[in-house]
Amino acid sequence: MQKDPHRYDNLIDNPRPIARTPMDSIKRAAQFAPFAALTGYEDQISETARITDAEVFLDENERDIIDYQLQYLQENLIKQPIVEITYFVPDSEEHKGSTKSGGKHVTKKGVVKKIDLYERCVIFTDADRVPIEAILALNVSGLKD
C-alpha cells in the first residue's frame, strides 16, 4: 500500500483555526503551574533540617539553688520583682506531632504574679506559665520598695 504524497493538498490554503472564545491568561498560566507529585515532601525536608537543642539536666546542688531562689521570690512577690527565667521547652510541646528529640531553651523576662505549688509552675502577670521542673536558671532583680 502506497501513500499518496498529495493527500493533504486541500489543507494548505485553509486559514489557521481560531478559538471562538480565547482562554484568559490565568487559565492559560494554570496549565503550566508546577505539580507537586509528592505531597508533604517539602514539609518533611524542613522538619528534618530543623535544629533542636539537647535537654540539660541540673544536678542536685543546682536544683537546690533554684529552689532557694523560688522561695526568695515567693517571699518578695508583693514587691513585684523583675524575674528572668531560662527554661527548656520540649520539641513535642513546641511542634505538635513532632518525633524529634530535644527542644529549645527559652528565656522569659517579666513580673511574676504567682508561684503555683499545686500545678508546679511560675505564673507571670501576662499569664505565661513556666513549669518549675523545666527551669534551668533564675535571676531575680528590680525589687520595688
Report the DSSP beta bridge partners of residue 129: 123
In terms of pLDDT, which residue wins out, 137 or 32?
Answer: 137
Phi, psi of 78, deg, nearest 5: -65, -25
Q: What is the pLDDT of residue 85?
A: 92
What pLDDT sits at residue 105? 86
For the full predicted model, state whether its pTM sits above 0.85. no
Residues 22-44: pLDDT tens digits?
A: 778 888 787 777 766 777 788 77
Q: Give the tens place of pLDDT for each residue, 90-118.
A: 877 655 666 677 788 889 999 989 888 89
- Pairing type for strands 82-90 and 135-141 reads antiparallel
**Closest C-alpha to 73, from 133, 126, 121:** 121
| pLDDT greater than 70 at residue 136 | yes
Task: Specify the 3-state DSSP secondary structure of 107.
Answer: strand
Would you state the pLDDT for residue 44?
79
Q: Are 105 and 88 in contact (CB under 8 A)?
A: yes
Place of cell 541540673: 58
DSSP state of 33: S
Q: What is the pLDDT of residues 53-74, one digit of tens each?
A: 877 888 899 999 999 999 988 8
* C-alpha cell at position 140: 531575680
